[in-house]
A and B are shown apart, each in its own frame.
Chain A
Amino acid sequence: MKQQDIQLDSEGRLRHFLTIDGLKRQTLVDILDTAENFSTVGSQNVKKVPLLRGKTIINLFFEPSTRTRTTFELAAKRLSADVLNINISTSSASKGESLLDMLRNFEAMFCDMFVVRHQTSGAAHFIAEHVAPHISVINAGDGSHAHPTQGMLDMFTIRRHKKEFHNLSVAIVGDILHSRVARSQIHALNILGVPDIRVIGPDTLIPKSADNLGVHVYHDIRAGLRDVDVVIMLRLQRERMTGAMLPSEKEYFQCYGLTPDKLALARPDAIVMHPGPINRGVEIASSVADGPQSVILEQVTNGIAIRMAIMSMTLGRSPVSDKEGV
């Protein structure tokens, strides 16, 4: 609840973007509509709009990332902002203190926004609590808590293909327990009114509290995929394998890997999504990942427009005015 407060200003507009949980449906729709407008910028000769000219955005990545960092950087550049990319390998000692010192230093360089990825849940929230009032913070993934811009770009991709949310069946397959992506997707799907959200995976990778998330749990992928409109595959985080949570990659693929015959159980026009990076032959067969129902690369493209929308909405909040004409 507290996070919900901190990411909105006194008039209910986005000040930070830390989690989807607690946001209003209209806010999500506004983000999707704004992103729709930004999606044409990529087709201009000059792939830029002057909206954030003169603003400085710092990408603060404490955890490696290719897609997310690159699309955040491109989004900022297409908005004409200046971007700094900072990759930090953390020392575990006195993390809180050194982090705050680092923030003060960046603030002294007159920056306007931090885009933060951190391996600790709640890191972006912590930073948002401590930044100067004019600075916005965007969560680019914190621990196993949230990855809200990924959640929104997935909603954008779904809306482009399915138009409405209120009649959809969406299945999320794989390691739900450790996935910040799944958590953000589930929040967004619930807020946007998707009536049937299914999570599919082995018992060890489904959170015990899944029932409270407003989802239906399936352990049998064949039952779970029946007649769904959207299949979202999650990356099997190989590092989890050693924790004896799973027998082997091969066996996982047999049980939960998305193959053409399993996908055939979904609706014929179902789309297949994956936040990347994909493990071919572990959670998804190459023929499905590269097949006609896959929208995996579209998700990457859509990530730019969604991040442009969220950056400009958080930095563009200003005294409310009804003045429309220029």
Chain B
Amino acid sequence: MNQATLKDANTLLADMATQLRSLLEQQQITDPVMIGIQTGGVWVAEALHKALTLKQPLGTLNITFYRDDFTRIGMHPQVTPSNLPFEVDDQHIILVDDVLHTGRTIRAALNEIFDYGRPASVILVCMVERTGRELPISADIAGQKLDLTEGQQIKLNGPSPLILTLLENM
């Protein structure tokens, strides 16, 4: 991984869209559905969904009820429930998040998706793939890969404009 500075979100989005188009072509997937993970993942997904001119509406996931740290951090009420406005069974799904860190969010999201049905495949797309994985999960497409220490955090502000910031020493 690179110890580089953060790139601009729009540059990353354009690059991710290009990578994604070529991956879909290579896997001969013609009509995928896209799901963004709340909150930052939905913003990224909205941009990609538009760039790829996908036919089916964008789905959103609120993974609160699937988190593995409920007994430690308790319930944080949020106002936006999950919304998957399509059948999940046999679909090719593009799952989108802003930052891939420990992998626990993706684990929760996959579990939730499977409670809606059995997808044909899931492709994981992240704007930033950083170090610190705690589960065997990796992104199929990442806008940028970053080598960060435990104290460093990436935050995506949005939805418009999308701005990535690096926070030191939480």
Contact = CB atoms under 8 A, between A and B. Distances in A.
Are A and B bound to each other?
yes
Interface of A: 13, 30-31, 33-34, 36-41, 44-46, 48-51, 312-313, 316-321, 323, 325-326
A176 B117 CA distance: 47
A138 to B, nearest CB: 15
Given A44-B116, A316-B70, A37 B111 contact: no
Interface in B102-138: 102, 104-105, 108, 111-112, 114-117
A311 B75 CA distance: 11
B115 A321 contact: no
Given A37-B79, A51-B65, 18 more contacts: A13-B74, A31-B77, A39-B81, A44-B116, A46-B114, A49-B65, A49-B112, A49-B115, A51-B70, A316-B71, A316-B75, A317-B74, A318-B71, A318-B74, A319-B72, A320-B74, A325-B105, A326-B102
Contacts of A326: 67-69, 102, 104-105, 108
27 contacts: A30-B77, A34-B77, A37-B62, A37-B65, A40-B81, A40-B82, A40-B83, A44-B115, A45-B115, A46-B116, A49-B115, A50-B65, A50-B66, A312-B65, A312-B75, A313-B75, A313-B77, A316-B70, A316-B75, A317-B74, A317-B75, A318-B71, A318-B73, A320-B74, A321-B72, A323-B69, A325-B105
B5 interface: no
Contact of B115 (A37, A38, A48, A316): A48
B67 to A, nearest CB: 6
Contacts, number: 78
B133 to A, nearest CB: 12
Contacts of A36: 79, 81
A46 B118 CA distance: 11
A310 B128 CA distance: 36
Contacts of A323: 69, 73
A321 B75 contact: no
A34 B101 contact: no
B144 interface: no
Interface in B123-162: 153
A321 B74 CA distance: 9
A325 B114 CA distance: 22
Contacts of A316: 70-71, 74-75
A44 B84 CA distance: 9
A268 B81 CA distance: 31
Interface in B30-64: 62, 64
B169 interface: no
Instruction: Give me the 6 closest cross-chain CB pairs, A-B, nearest first.
Output: A49-B65, A46-B115, A326-B104, A316-B75, A33-B77, A316-B74
A220 B88 CA distance: 55
Contacts of B64: 37
A312 B117 CA distance: 25
A71 B105 CA distance: 30
A143 to B, nearest CB: 30
B84 to A, nearest CB: 9
B78 interface: yes
A50 B62 contact: no
A37 B81 contact: yes
Nearest to B118: A45
B78 A37 contact: yes
A263 B114 CA distance: 46
Nearest to A35: B77
A36 B70 CA distance: 18
Nearest to A37: B81
Contacts of A37: 62, 64-65, 77-82
- Counting chain A CB atoms within 10 Å of each CB, the highest count among B65, B68, B73, B116 belongs to B65
Contact of A321 (B62, B65, B73): B73
A13 B78 CA distance: 16
A33 B68 contact: no
Given A36-B81, A326-B104, A49 B75 contact: no
Contacts of B73: 318, 321, 323
Contacts of A45: 88, 115-117
- Counting chain A CB atoms within 10 Å of each CB, the highest count among B71, B75, B111, B153 belongs to B75
A325 B64 CA distance: 11
Contacts of B65: 37-38, 41, 49-51, 312
